[in-house]
Amino acid sequence: MSAPPRIYSSSPPRFPPPHSLHTSSIPFSSLNFGNSPPLHRLPPPSSNSTTATTSASAPTNAMEPLVPPKYPKYLDSSSYAELVQRQYELRLAAYSSDKHRESADATPILVNSAVRNPKVKSSGQPFHLSLDNADKLEDLDLKLPTAWNPNDKGHCVELSSDNRRLKYVGVGKDDTDAASVRANFPMRPQCGIFYFEVEIVSKGRDGYIGIGFCWQSNLLNRLPGWDDHSWGYHGDDGHSFCSSGNGKPYGPKFGTGDTIGCGVNFQDMSAFYTKNGVDLGTAFQGLQGASLYPCVGFRTPGEQVEVNFGEREFKFDIEHYVKVRERGKEDFTMVQATNTLARMQEAKGKLLADISNIPITESAISRGAGDSISTPSKAAPPSTPASTSKPSSPAPPPRLNSIDDMESSKILHEVVLSYMVHHGFSDSAKTFAKDISESRKTDSMALLKDSSMDTDPIDLIRDEQDIQQRQEIRHALMAGDVDKAINLCEEHYPSVLDDNDMLMFKLECHKFIELMRQYAEQQGFHPKLARSCSSSTKSAIDTYVPAREGMDLDDVPVPQQRGYKRRRSIHEEEDSVDSLSNNDDDEEDDDSEDDEEDSLDGLLGTAMTYGQQLQQNYGRDERPEVQSTLVETFSLIAYRDPFQSPVAHVLDDLRRDELVNQLNSAILVSRNLPGMPRLEHMYKQTQVAIQELLFSGNGKAAMMDLRKDVL
Amino acid sequence: MSTTTTPSKKTISKEEWEKKLADVKINKQDLNKLVMNYLVVEGYKDAAEQFSIESGLAPMVDIASIQDRMDIRRAVQAGNVDAAIERVNDLNPDENHNLPAQANLLYLYFQILDTNPQLFFHLQQQRLIELIRRGEFAEALDFASEEMAPRGEENPEFLEELERTMALMAFEDTRQSPVSDLLHPAQRQKTASELNAAILTSQSQEKDPKLPSLLRMLVWSQNQLDEQRINYPRIDNFGTADLVTRDQ
């Protein structure tokens, strides 16, 4: 076993009891825990950290300016907003870790932790922004159209200095004199819906103005909509042009003073227009392409337009319906908003319906089956195969065939059962296995199917003893009995903790936390039921207890008198009664006080002795994770009510659960079993797949919210 | 959107993919809820109970109501529609005031009567089918004319379906008849599921468990990535959920 043994020393503790520190005014951050990093590097970095301030400021070199993302307000709740915000954070993190490294080189104090930090990137390069094949979110180009591109226009079009106003200055004799201009960036499918408006400043001679969008590859001596990969709505006749020289009647004509809006819905790949704030309905469906550029085209002299990509208020209230989508139906009046909202919901509903028809079978998930499944399913099969009469009901649930049903429930059963087995929920697993083997018998009788083909679900619980053992370990840890958990683990799975010294270390630290918890609870402190993060700051200040130099473990090995408080051993409990009652709010009732104080200091003594041992064993371990865990663990001492301290999270049940999971995983891995339940892996896989789809501009994926949709 | 815009094929290495997987945050409690939801909706009462104890997660419904729902569902599945309906029907709320779950069912029965005429008709139809199956033709005729025909008049679809069901009596060998599907166990399953869904809805539960949706989303998202010609480590089977990278 590589981790140091746990030793229960009976020597006097070198830790001062926390209440002896109450009145000290020395800032907590000046404490020194042997080789531990200075405390101000703990979250929250309340004060003084110089690195923190530099990282927040904008970079000064030639890098891409690192400013918070900006986008039109109606995108506030879109996947786009989320994505671009995460990208910003990632870039910020990359930037500050580069900075961190630089400062680490300069200040030797930080060398250890910084150099060892694997997250520090070796390159100090600016971000590489490429349009295609971006593998990482950091590198993904998410810039939205903000103006026309002066370098991407047909001849005879003049741009204003801000590149938003366009004027046609050609002769405009015939169609060969047409000229278009593309925006500087494409509309991103991640937006779900992208919307922009064009005001017709002047319709010129004939008002042959086309508003729409096209690919980057389209020629610009044409009007939008005339060619493949190009779509447009034309002012002279009000027709919509869908990749064709022949338009179709669509909306009203438009001319001087009108404002035409164009919205592309990437969720169902359709587009709609608005005129002066009124929705004109869907113009195009079945759009193609992941990079569609807003585009305006002219054909007769004097035509002039100005674009609004969201920097000003739109005529059409697109923001309103996005808000409405968030909040539900509250305050919902706009007709056009209803339409657009309905369009989005319809698209998502259709997608979910398609997905709900995907069979859960091995052949569906195995490779190569993709083609047959991704084609949207045909109309739901009628509930009755009879030809003499129509289906009985208007909305029968589509029935998969029963063989698929059987396979699907078998797969689901196994996913659930393996989840229970994984976590050592032994009773659940046994009960569930019994339940499903019964229902399987009923099913197969009902469906006239031979059940002997299936394995008995009970067989899935291969090693009941193993489940039971892991369950015991879980119980022990959840009850706060770390020793028992460790003992059980060493008894049943001897190699696990030997092979995972970090885990062993965490368990040992956790034991200290549990001791401190007991102590705090005996003192009458209890976990806050609803601890809100924001309000905890204030209470943390109230209960914040500055510690004092007595905490310096390394150079003060001998207990000695220090002012009016001194270090005490377990045998000096009586003294503590006074100091405690002095500092306490007299919450305990008087009768039991003496007894409580006795056991209380006993507990504290044990904790301190143990903590000292921990410090001895690991204090010189330079691994950053060890050091930061030690700091976090020991900082509990500084607070009178640890449940309300900034480190209260270590006392949370979630922390226990986390440890249980880590230990459980380690045990399973040591037995050559997966360290993660299938269910969890599938969830993560789906999440990452959707994320990748989003990166690659899949509009359908932009509609998905896995957490909301399945959790 | 499609093939025309697909950029050159992209490959994501296993290492890279696993890093992305590790970045996904998923709370164990959320997964527990997902499992609990499956157990409750699918009616695994005992397992739900144990799971609640072992995971420390409260079940989202009264455990006893799961049992009631399953009893009724099983009764229909076993062809015992009368028992299922009459059990509910015969309940006297005055005598059973201390049985909230059953009172609930009574309430449900009337609610179905009032708000879900389609389900109610299907239950009645199932009763009729069972009568015919047992060869009780006289009873079947009475039942059809007294209980079902009046409702059929309200709704032409019901009438049509009623006629189809009655046609069962016209065939010597129903297995060869065009209406043989009505006698198939799948018809019982269908009715049982419909009833089950209605009960869940009345208990403000979603009628479908969420776990299958997750598995379907997995299939869907992987297929979409395949279509975009992105090469990545995929899960090729539900049985082990191992990551497999295509060799190409």
For residue range A680-691, list pLDDT tens digits in order.
Answer: 999 999 999 998
Residues of A in contact with B12 (CB under 8 A): 135, 692
Please indicate whether, in this complex, the C-beta atoms of A684 and B21 are within 8 angstroms of each other.
yes
Question: Would an 8 Å CB–CB cutoff place B219 in contact with chain A?
Answer: yes
Q: Which of B47, B77, B225 is nearest residue A689 as measured by Cβ atoms?
A: B225
A491 lies in the same domain as A451? no
Q: How far is it, in rounded angstroms, from Cα B156 to Cα B149?
A: 11
A576 lies in the same domain as A450? no
Q: Which residue of A has its CA nearest to B180?
A: A386
Q: Which of A402, A435, A681 is nearest residue B46 as measured by Cβ atoms?
A: A435
A107 lies in the same domain as A246? no
Task: Please name the residue that has the structure tokens 């029965």.
Answer: B109
Residues of B in contact with A389 (CB under 8 A): 160-161, 163-164
DSSP-based three-state secondary structure for A331: coil
In degrees rounded to 5, what are phi and psi of residue A232?
A: -160, 160
Task: Return the minimum-mean-pLDDT range out of A18-32, A46-60, B178-192, B198-212.
Answer: A46-60
> Which residue numbers in chain A have pLDDT < 50?
1-63, 104-134, 325-336, 369-400, 448-453, 530-598
Buried-state track A103-140, b at ≥16 Cβ within 10 A, e below 16: bbeeeeebebbbeeeeeeeeeeeebeeeeeebeebbbb
Residues of B in contact with A404 (CB under 8 A): none
- CA B35 to chain centroid, in Å, comes to 16
How many CB atoms neighbour CB A501 within 10 A? 16
Please indicate whether, in this complex, the C-beta atoms of A689 and B185 are within 8 angstroms of each other.
no
A113 lies in the same domain as A241? no
Which of A311, A336, A358 corresponds to the end of one domain? A311
Q: How far is it, in rounded angstroms, from Cα A240 to Cα A582?
A: 84
The answer to whether B50 touches A427, Cβ cutoff 8 Å, is: yes
In this prediction, residue A196 carries a pLDDT of: 94
Residues of B in contact with A396 (CB under 8 A): 190
In degrees rounded to 5, what are phi and psi of residue A313?
A: -70, 140
Please indicate whether, in this complex, the C-beta atoms of B224 and A366 are within 8 angstroms of each other.
no
Q: pLDDT tens across B14-52, in order? A: 888 998 898 888 888 889 999 999 998 888 888 999 999
Distant-in-sequence, close-in-space partners of B92: CB < 8 Å, separation ≥ 6: none
Task: Give Cα separations from A364 to A588, B218, B236 (angstroms).
Answer: 65, 10, 9
Strands A303-308 and B243-244, sheet pairing: unpaired
Q: What is the DSSP letter of A182?
A: E
In this prediction, residue A601 carries a pLDDT of: 63
Please indicate whether, in this complex, the C-beta atoms of A693 and B225 are within 8 angstroms of each other.
yes
Question: At CA A149, angle to CA A147 and CA A155, rounded to 5?
Answer: 130
How many CB atoms neighbour CB A276 within 10 A? 15
Task: Return the minimum-mean-pLDDT range out of A61-65, A279-283, B120-124, B166-170.
Answer: A61-65
In this prediction, residue A193 carries a pLDDT of: 85
Question: Would an 8 Å CB–CB cutoff place B64 in contact with chain A?
Answer: no
Sheet holding A179-183, edge to edge: A148-153, A179-183, A293-298, A210-214, A230-234, A239-242, A248-249
Environment class of residue A564 by beta-carbon count within 10 Å: exposed (0-12), middle (13-18) or buried (19+)? exposed
A195 lies in the same domain as A279? yes
Query: In whole numbers, what is the pLDDT of chain B averaged over residues?
Result: 79
Please indicate whether, in this complex, the C-beta atoms of B7 and A426 are within 8 angstroms of each other.
no
Residues facing residue A183 across a β-bridge: A148
A292 lies in the same domain as A391? no
A432 lies in the same domain as A494? no
In this prediction, residue A623 carries a pLDDT of: 84
Q: How far is it, in rounded angstroms, from Cα A100 to Cα A110?
A: 9
Which of A139, A154, A182 corresponds to the end of one domain? A139
CA distance A320 to chain B (A): 28
A455 lies in the same domain as A506? no
Asked whether residue A658 is assigned to any structural domain, the reply reads yes
A518 lies in the same domain as A625? yes
Residues of A in contact with B188 (CB under 8 A): 446
Asked whether residue A11 is assigned to any structural domain, the reply reads no
Residues facing residue B231 across a β-bridge: B11
Asked whether residue A334 is assigned to any structural domain, the reply reads no
Average pLDDT over residues B216-233: 89
A551 lies in the same domain as A597? yes
The answer to whether A260 touches A274, Cβ cutoff 8 Å, is: yes
Asked whether residue A367 is assigned to any structural domain, the reply reads no
How many CB atoms neighbour CB B180 within 10 A? 16
Distant-in-sequence, close-in-space partners of A265: CB < 8 Å, separation ≥ 6: A192, A193, A271, A272, A343, A344, A347, A699
Q: Which of B38, B218, B240 is nearest residue A686 as measured by Cβ atoms?
A: B218
CA distance A654 to chain B (A): 9
Environment class of residue A409 by beta-carbon count within 10 Å: exposed (0-12), middle (13-18) or buried (19+)? middle
Question: Would an 8 Å CB–CB cutoff place B133 in contact with chain A?
Answer: no
Task: Please name the residue that has the structure tokens 């319709």.
Answer: A203
A401 lies in the same domain as A492? no
Asked whether residue A229 is assigned to any structural domain, the reply reads yes
The answer to whether A423 touches A677, Cβ cutoff 8 Å, is: yes
Environment class of residue A709 by beta-carbon count within 10 Å: exposed (0-12), middle (13-18) or buried (19+)? middle
Asked whether residue A60 is assigned to any structural domain, the reply reads no
User: Would you tell me the crossing angle of helices A653-670 and A501-522 to the nearest 10 degrees?
Assistant: 150
Q: Which residue of A has its CA nearest to B165?
A: A392
DSSP-based three-state secondary structure for A193: strand
Q: Domain residues for A98?
A: 73-139
Please indicate whether, in this complex, the C-beta atoms of B210 and A356 are within 8 angstroms of each other.
no
Q: Which residue of B has its CA nearest to A678?
A: B241
Residue A683's nearest CA partner among B32, B167, B227 is: B32
Asked whether residue A701 is assigned to any structural domain, the reply reads no
Which of A111, A139, A167 corresponds to the end of one domain? A139
- What does the CA dihedral B37, B42, B45, B50 come to, rounded to 10 degrees? -40
Distant-in-sequence, close-in-space partners of A516: CB < 8 Å, separation ≥ 6: A607, A636, A637, A642, A651
Question: Would an 8 Å CB–CB cutoff place B232 in contact with chain A?
Answer: yes
Please indicate whether, in this complex, the C-beta atoms of B47 and A397 are within 8 angstroms of each other.
no
Asked whether residue A318 is assigned to any structural domain, the reply reads no
In this prediction, residue A663 carries a pLDDT of: 92
Q: What is the DSSP letter of A160?
A: -
Q: SS3 breakdown of chain A: % helix, strand, coil, rounded to 5? A: 45, 10, 40
CA distance A665 to chain B (A): 13
In this prediction, residue B154 carries a pLDDT of: 76
User: Is the ipTM value over 0.85, yes or no?
Assistant: no
Residues of A in contact with B20 (CB under 8 A): 688, 691-692
CA distance A289 to chain B (A): 5
Residues of B in contact with A285 (CB under 8 A): none
How many CB atoms neighbour CB A479 within 10 A? 12
The domain total for chain A is 4
Average pLDDT over residues B125-141: 89
A448 lies in the same domain as A525? no
Task: Please name the residue that has the structure tokens 């990437």.
Answer: A266
Residues of B in contact with A419 (CB under 8 A): 31, 35
The answer to whether A154 touches A179, Cβ cutoff 8 Å, is: yes
Q: Which of B19, B38, B180, B222 is the mutation pick for testing A, counting most A CBs within 10 A? A: B222
The answer to whether A513 touches A633, Cβ cutoff 8 Å, is: yes
Residues of B in contact with A686 (CB under 8 A): 214, 217-218, 221
The answer to whether A123 touches A144, Cβ cutoff 8 Å, is: no
Task: Give Cα separations from B101 to A445, A662, B37 (angstroms).
Answer: 30, 41, 20
Report residue B187 as tokens.
Answer: 């018809």
